Amino acid sequence: MELTGAQILMKVLKDEGVDTIFGYPGGVLLDIYDELAKTDIRHILVRHEQGAAHAADGYARAGGRVGVCLVTSGPGATNTVTGIASAYCDSIPIVVITGQVPTHLIGNDAFQEVDIVGITRPCTKHNFLVKSTEDLGRVIKEAFFIARSGRPGPVLVDIPKNVGNKKIAFEMPGEVKLRSYNPTYNPNMRQLQKVAELVQKAERPMIFAGGGVILSDGAKELTEFARKNQIPVTTSLMGLGAFPGSDPLWLGMIGMHGTYRANMCTGKCDLMIAVGVRFDDRVTGKTDSFAPQAKIVHIDIDPTSIKKNVPVSIPVVGDCRITLGHLNTLTDQIDPNDLQQKRKSWLDQIVEWKSTRPLDYEQDKNGPVKPQYVVEKLYELTKGEAIITTEVGQNQMWAAQYYHFERPNRFITSGGLGCMGFGLPAAIGAQVACPDELVVDIAGDGSIQMNIQEMATAVQYGLPVKVVILNNGYLGMVRQWQELFYGKRYSSTCMDCAPDFVKLAEAYGAVGLRAEKPSEVVAVLKEGLFSSKTVIMDFRVAKEECVYPMVPAGAPLTEMLLV
């Protein structure tokens, strides 16, 4: 059977189960877009290529499948780089397909030519320049295999125009086998036996879970392990939802804006079981003082992540879900009564920390709207069942602190890269993946403007995404640092000329709502959340509210600013 490269691409994408592509067409993609129109693969036309990458990211996280975006050469390709880097930092499986000038023009400074393979090499799990149509089907298969296997991540495939329009005899490639790429899924059982022995002996253990638990679909195994062994659990920002937020063993998030009890546990524990985490600087604070009394067990599918940032006592390379399953079996024989007696004082101490230093704020009914109040009421109205995306900054931290997640894949945020402009396109991707779910982007007035053009995408496709803007008139997190560490010199952080978000929503054909008083918050949330349309809700919040607790950069986790 003879097919063009564009036809081969569509055939292989269908074989990989792709039902949605987020993209933006251009000259070198005309053959591919012509074939795409003949298929039943849904194409979502974004308004900026960065939006395509973030939407594919949100689709992958919410739907549990590889996200796909398709963009043209030159500026189309370079506009995806921020989205690719965000997916790379958070280990999200997306395949980015870029158009390229014909092979005979590569290196000749042709119109809209750019070396996107070279540019993205540091921020992709792997990338390909397809030099012949004969290689195209195999490369696409390999791209999906690499993106979803092992530690997931973004893969870029660059397709020159002549590769897309040449016709060849085609046969669907078979199973992908890469000799140099064999992720380790099954852990070393001798190492796990050592872990089980430490669990039995520990008097002050804690679990630190990260995004790797969610990516491996290991939340059920993690919850079973924690409850059976009576071990309190904290997570990184990316791990929120891996353990139920209502469970008595839940400590809250760890790190720079983590809870008092989670950070204090880190300073006092004698065993830390870290699962699917990177130990990044926002989590560890001063590394010399991180978990100083603890033996650290580090479980991760990526061996390069282990021992990279903190020393560990027992390294375990393996898939988080599989490894936790084995640990559950190995600890079956531990006497639960023995554990309860051994850990009673530890668990009592945690209860005391929680009661004396809870997450707290005061909402004066006659004062300005507190952003924490908005998030708290959003949680109450949605009963914790919404898919929450965020932008980056204070809005992101308040969402993490005051919206409680009971299950995985409900919190979608740019964790590692901290990319402003992420939340709205990610919400669009999540809504496409989960059309029957309520999807809410918690945003700041600064970061929402970075990809506000994607409102047109949401409206065009009838996606009922809700945007909750915590509008304080500042680049809030940067302003907070300037307040605390730079003598309140607010250099270039005041948003003096913000748009009227209600009118802006209406201009896009969406619904715009506003609350300026505490008494208006619930009514606006109810009207917005229960609308069948795309909605922007503009909450005018206290201008100089800060996110607390806060660990200053370079300080130990136990040295928190609490007010």
Judge contact between 534 and 458, C-beta under 8 A: yes
3-class SS string, 233-290: EEECHHHCCCCCCCCCCEEEECCCCCCHHHHHHHHHCCEEEEECCCCCHHHHCCHHHC
Judge contact between 474 and 449, C-beta under 8 A: no
Length of the chain: 563
Cα separation, 509 vs 526, in Å, equals: 20
Q: For 479, list phi and psi in degrees, rounded to 5.
A: -60, -40
Q: Which of 422, 419, 380, 425 is nearest to 403 (CA)?
A: 380
Cα separation, 23 vs 34, in Å, equals: 14
Q: Which of 241, 164, 172, 159 is nearest to 14 (CA)?
A: 172
CB burial of residue 383 (10 Å; 0-12, 13-18, 19+): exposed
Residue 344's alpha-carbon distances to 155, 199, 415, 426, in angstroms, are 48, 15, 34, 43
The torsion of the CA quartet 425, 444, 282, 83, rounded to 10 degrees, works out to: 20
Instruction: Transcribe 25-61 into DSSP letters.
Output: --GGGHHHHHHHTTSS-EEEE-SSHHHHHHHHHHHHH
Radius of gyration of the chain (CA): 24
Judge contact between 516 and 510, C-beta under 8 A: no
Judge contact between 518 and 439, C-beta under 8 A: no
Task: Supply the residues annotated as catalytic.
Answer: 49, 111-112, 161, 477
Report the SS3 class of residue 551.
coil
**Angle (CA) 329 315 327, round 5°:** 5
Q: In the chain, count of helices (H) and strands (E)?
A: 22, 20
492: left (phi over 0), alpha (psi -120 to 50) or beta: left
Cα separation, 130 vs 116, in Å, equals: 12
